[in-house]
Structure 1
Amino acid sequence: MAAISAAMVKDLRDKTGAGMMDCKAALKETDGDVEAAVDWLRKKGLAKAAKKAGRTAADGLVAVATSGEKGVLVEVNAETDFVARNETFQKMVANIAEIALGVDGDTEKLKAANYPGSDKTIDEYISEMIGQIGENMALRRAAGLSVDEGVIVPYIHTQVCEGAGKIGVIVALKSSGDKDALNALGKQIAMHVAAARPLSLKVEELDAAVVQREKDVLSDQARASGKPENIIEKMVEGRLRKFYEESVLLEQIFVIDGETRIAKVVENAKGAAGAEVELVGFERFELGEGIEVAEDDFAAEVQAMAGGN
């Protein structure tokens, strides 16, 4: 039996919204496997979320940069919000985003690229800045999109400074149509992506393991109702369609009007753009998504409530 730590209990609680003692019970039942514990709670009807969005548990900035028909997102982490408001840090992140354009958002190439005005790589420059600012920092990730013809539209939600904030999105629209109309559409879709957290653009692009896991959970939930297997199969199909509607961008309902599927929104844009429009990709970064940060006071509380185990 794996030791169930307070940090594991808190992690599971953050992922599922389930109660503290339920989380501990789930971890005991699954021998400390957090992902299996999420499924255990869901099968018991104790978890609130159908998918894991990750926890925002680190600070810093997500920044965006675009040039013509190319765009990138970068995330640079620091320990506190104080550093995120530091102009020196903000300038460094903006420079890194601009450099990312030249390597198409490839994280490893970006880390090895030269920092402007310096003989150091970006990784080396960040190490130097750690000494100057006095906090640990790291270039965590980058991603890029491009189109041969069309627009790449950026959006920053909860902006801290120009071009950087807590959530960053880029959207790629392929079209020969009017650029102003395309940019307006792209901005609305990017805002939708920031709010709706899609996992993929299309159903067929969803991670097969994510889909199988969802099917397994839905099957167990349906089977618990006592229905025969042929009915269970239909129940799972229906619930899986709902999962796609919640998780796949083109299947989601547009948050701005609350009634139109994103696929239809894009199709309807042909009139304003004066040409066919295709939504070919998106990237979404949320600051600190999935990064663990210890919280000692909460851990002590859990340990006390859980009997120190």
Structure 2
Amino acid sequence: MNTYVQAGVSGVMIGGLYAVMALGLSLTWGLLRIINLAHFALILLGAYVTYELTTSTGADPLLAALVLVPSMFVLGVAIQWVIERFQVDEFNSLLLSFGLFIIAIRLISNIWSADFRQIEADENPYASRALFVADIAFPVPQLMALGAALVFAVASFVVLRRTYFGRALRALAYDREMAAAFGVNPRRIGMLAAGLASAMAGVAGVLIGVNQAIFPQLAFEWVGLIFAVVILGGIGNLLGAVGAGILIGLVAGLVGVAWTPQGAPLVVFLLLILALLFRPNGLFGRLGAS
């Protein structure tokens, strides 16, 4: 029985990591109508920068966020400026961001090679740390990811509900022309939102670097899974993305123990298909948290 409980707990915490990775994508897709595949490359780049800064300086890996958050924000703003400048629509944003994604993965491969990279245990103070409740382990790196997902989702909910920026962003999502007619600056609001989404990608990259080994092809493994989190949670629903990430992590963890780890993706995507047949807008509703 303890095996299943531990698998469930581990799955929930890994689901928190999925949620952190999904939040920025859900924000840009649901509120800006931009399907940003480059988001995955930014996460991977953040993980490599975390690895590089930690191994070269010996600093705490979490301190990489001090570099990544502002730099990723600027990069996200630059990408959104291009999208706004050339009036790229939702479908073409998928093609544009896919091109950026492939270019970024190739650059990462050229700089760091295709070898596996991981912060050594003596440089990563969180790698082997865990909290125990009875016989159940709660690894600290995964707890940090779950905590970050919850903090980001709640903070985003408050911002979207209580601030001018949030109300303007929601207005743009529902009717861009009407929002502009009432004084909302679509370009400025869009670039700020894209910057925040990319900053979230930077934080996700730090957490990936702390949690696991990285290699360039890892980003391809994230695409289907994180899209599943965004869609199941409801596109644009940031609290829903956290709930969906936890649910998918839980299911994958339990299936991995009860059946086989290779069967977990099959079960996850079968459940996604069934859920969307009955809940086309996701389990928690599209833009429900906005």
- Between Structure 1 and Structure 2, which shows a larger proportion of helix residues? 2
Q: Which has the higher contact order (CA 8 A, sep 6+)?
A: 2
Query: Which of these two proteins has the greater Rg computed from alpha carbons?
Result: 1
- Between Structure 1 and Structure 2, which shows a larger proportion of strand residues? 1
